[in-house]
Structure 1
Amino acid sequence: KALDGRKMNLSELSRKTGLSKTTILEHLNKLVEADLVKKIEREGHKWTYYKLSWKGSSLLHPENTKIVIVFCVSIFFLLGGVYQIAIYGIGSSFTTAMDLDEWNLLGGKGNFSSEDFQELMIKHAKEEARNKTLLGAQPGNIHVYQSTENLSKGLKLEVFYQDPSYLYLGIAFLTISIATLFYLFRTLRRRKSILDMM
């Protein structure tokens, strides 16, 4: 515990603990073998310093491991949320064809106005886009940005859409990330105030 937070040489440890240097050296050698303490020797310097290893620090402060895990989870959700929102923003596009049988089923027979034609195209595009979304939800933005009409073969549609499932997932991931970061900073602040009291 004396090495917690800083490195010390044999004399400093002896003064702090009130034990003889030989006793401390025996204990330190066992702790170095168990990889709980690191021995720091520098060329040209006469003093040897000792400090806690990660393993030793984790034994004294088991919350360190918890903090690292929470931080990694938070970063994972942050990156996942940004990625999901980016996918939503970029959107998706596909090409679909409406053959004459489908055209006739949707009401394309006989006389129709250009508004009816546009409405049938959008209806067909929305149905196809909904089938392509992650959760089968109705896409938020659908744009038919190119269509070529050839009534002898059918109709070809170029469709751009944004899947709202990615937006909802992104918002959920970012919310989880912010909550875990808030928990992490609160834990660190509480730990710092406890260490300051000692």
Structure 2
Amino acid sequence: MAHILLVDDEANILSSLKRTLNAKDEFDGTSPNYTIHTFTDARAALLASETQEYQLVISDYRMPDLDGVAFLTDFRYRQPDCVRIILSGMTDLAGLVLAINEVEIYRFLSKPWHDFELRSTVGGALRFQKLCVENQRLADELRLIRSQSKEKDDELKRLEDAMPGITRVNWGPDGSVMIDEV
């Protein structure tokens, strides 16, 4: 189950976002499997992020006290694997560039949003997040295997240095082991 954090200073926007994201699919009638947490206060959302892991956060760009870029910058350090989306009714090119470059947002959505675009973006973001986490897990596993392989290679080198020829096998044409009679 995906945990989604929604942050906007307007409660009615949060209600609308939550309703849109929880809506049943028009084609197959299935409901998404999301747990959605909403906050009108960005600082309270940051506190919640200390005890709850989120896969996706959608934040308003313009909020009093703490804007979306500042909020997502702080949030990114707390939960770097969480995908970040900014939602805004204003197009501030400098702020958007900052959000992309500093916060590494996944997408920028404008208000008012199109329900299909919002649901598609959220679905894509959650798939992207899952792939990133799996990629990181596989990279960690590969690093562990390489580390273990290096340890084995170091031990083989140590044995070969101590007893030359011990790590080599001479194979016969029929697959048998050839033993030197020296």
TM-score, normalization by structure 1: 0.27
CA radius of gyration, larger in: 1
Larger relative helix fraction: 1
Structure with the larger RCO, 1 or 2 (CA within 8 Å, 6+ apart): 1
